[in-house]
Amino acid sequence: MRNYEDYEVIRLAKELVAIESTNVGKFEKEIGNFIAEWLERETGLPVIKDEFAPERFNVVCVLPGKVEDPAFVSMHHMDVVPAGTGWETDPFQATIVGNKMYGRGTADMKSGLAVAMITFRDMVKLAQSGKEPKRSLVFIATGDEEGDAMMGAMKALESGYVTGNSFVLDHEPTNNNIYVAHKGKTWFKITAIGASAHGSFPWVGVDAISGMAEIVRNIRNRVNELPCEDESFGRSSVCFGTINGGLNTNMVAESCTVTLDMRFPPNLTNEDTIKLVEEACADACKVVEGLKTSIEVVAQRPCVKQDNSSVLLAKLQEIIEEVTGKRAETPVFTGYTDTGVVAAETGNINSMSYGIVGDKYHEANEWVDLDSVLRLYEISRKIQEEMVFNFE
């Protein structure tokens, strides 16, 4: 059995877990400062703190190469979701049992972040030893990946550290898969507006809650009927995440609000989902007389399809197979990551995730397989050496 504490990358992952960076909660300031100091000390390169909100910033460090764009961009988020309850170990004190390490962020994604930091340092050392980088290597530790707006990734795009041409890789927990395709999503906040009345003569009011019941049913039925032309993406889905409305049992509710999360395959667009919700609301207004509705689109991202002409995908497949002896699958990812945002916002076909094996992210007792961390470190170095120093 390996003594995992002998490995620098695992010791660093443990240190990162011990710096609480919950979103919502303590956010990224402390861990961002730690990473910035580490990069300065280990590489001697200038480090930029690129602010996207007050006291919240991405940490950026660039190893300049012969070609600036496309650069190779190593992009990893610093924030984690809150701990929640049900832990058997301290979520902010990584605990190693056998070949697993437990703690919030061990899988999503502080082990991947530690791999990225050390790989970046190794590449800088390689350049300093005389090997010329053919393209720039950009390290970005982002914030707010776990937030609704993914402000860190959006800021990195806005600041130009990552572009539609960049080769972009993150080490999210992917369980030996490569995630390059993403389902689209639209998030809504819908309010049904009625009119209050006494509960004993409700017919003089307009019941916003029964109006919302119609809206929910209409949306659910419409989503269930949506066609799916690409089986690999699976069907469209809707989740009604929250509902609020009414003041008292004996009063007709004058308003009711629902938030919902819709996901869809590539034969649909965000506009299609907005139209679907508008029609569902209009139909409800025909059934509940006097009902009014308001629709707010809270977040939207298009679908991202896999492009088999992607150079990064081909090289990554090759190296993964060389190291693990197995070819990585490329299933559709139902969620979104920073690299997914880059792909969606710019149409970049060389933006993807490949990382460790682990489980229970966003739950209690999150863990990472430490052998997969060591394997990832080997793959990370190989792909960066190939893309930054060898490939023209």
With respect to Zn ion, which residue has the nearer C-beta, 154 or 287? 154
Contact between 84 and 5 under an 8 Å Cβ cutoff? The reply is no
With respect to Zn ion, which residue has the nearer C-beta, 174 or 348? 174
Minimum Å gap between C-beta 178 and Zn ion is 15
Q: What is the DSSP letter of 293?
A: E
Residue nearest to Zn ion (CB): 108
The structure tokens listed for 270 are: 């965000």
Adjacent-strand bridge partners of 257: 191, 244
Q: Which stretch binds Zn ion (CB under 5 A): 61-69, 109-117, 214-222, 262-270?
A: 109-117
Sequence length of the chain is 392
Interface size with Zn ion, residues (CB under 5 A)? 3
Residue 155's H or E segment, with its range, is: helix 151-158
Return d(Cα 351, Cα 112) in angstroms, integer: 16
**Radius of gyration from C-alpha coordinates of the chain:** 24
DSSP string, 4-56: GGG-HHHHHHHHHHHS--BTTTTTTHHHHHHHHHHHHHHH---EEEEEEETTE
Contact between 210 and 218 under an 8 Å Cβ cutoff? The reply is no
Binding-site string for Zn ion from residue 54 to residue 93, where x marks contact by CB under 5 A and - marks none:
----------------------------------------
Minimum Å gap between C-beta 228 and Zn ion is 27
Q: Name residues whose C-beta falls within 8 Å of residue 143's C-beta, 6 or more positions apart in sequence.
A: 23, 27, 28, 32, 52, 56, 57, 58, 77, 78, 79, 151, 152
Q: Which stretch binds Zn ion (CB under 5 A): 105-113, 130-138, 210-218, 288-296?
A: 105-113
With respect to Zn ion, which residue has the nearer C-beta, 188 or 354? 354
With respect to Zn ion, which residue has the nearer C-beta, 113 or 223? 113
Task: Kindly list the strands in the beta sheet with 100-102, ordered across the sheet, starting from the edge strand earlier in the chain.
Answer: 95-97, 100-102, 367-369, 358-359
Minimum Å gap between C-beta 281 and Zn ion is 34
Binding-site string for Zn ion from residue 156 to residue 195, where x marks contact by CB under 5 A and - marks none:
----------------x-----------------------
With respect to Zn ion, which residue has the nearer C-beta, 108 or 385? 108
Return d(Cα 323, Cα 318) in angstroms, integer: 9
Q: Which stretch binds Zn ion (CB under 5 A): 50-58, 104-112, 155-163, 250-258?
A: 104-112
Pick from 38, 59, 78, 108 the residue near Zn ion by CB under 5 A.
108
Minimum Å gap between C-beta 138 and Zn ion is 19
With respect to Zn ion, which residue has the nearer C-beta, 152 or 205? 152
With respect to Zn ion, which residue has the nearer C-beta, 109 or 141? 109
With respect to Zn ion, which residue has the nearer C-beta, 28 or 172? 172
Return d(Cα 260, Cα 243) in angstroms, integer: 9
Rule CB under 5 A: say whether 368 interacts with Zn ion. no
Let me know how many helices (H) and strands (E) the chain has, helices first: 9, 15
Pick from 9, 109, 212, 328 the residue near Zn ion by CB under 5 A.
109
Note the residues at the interface with Zn ion (CB under 5 A).
108-109, 172
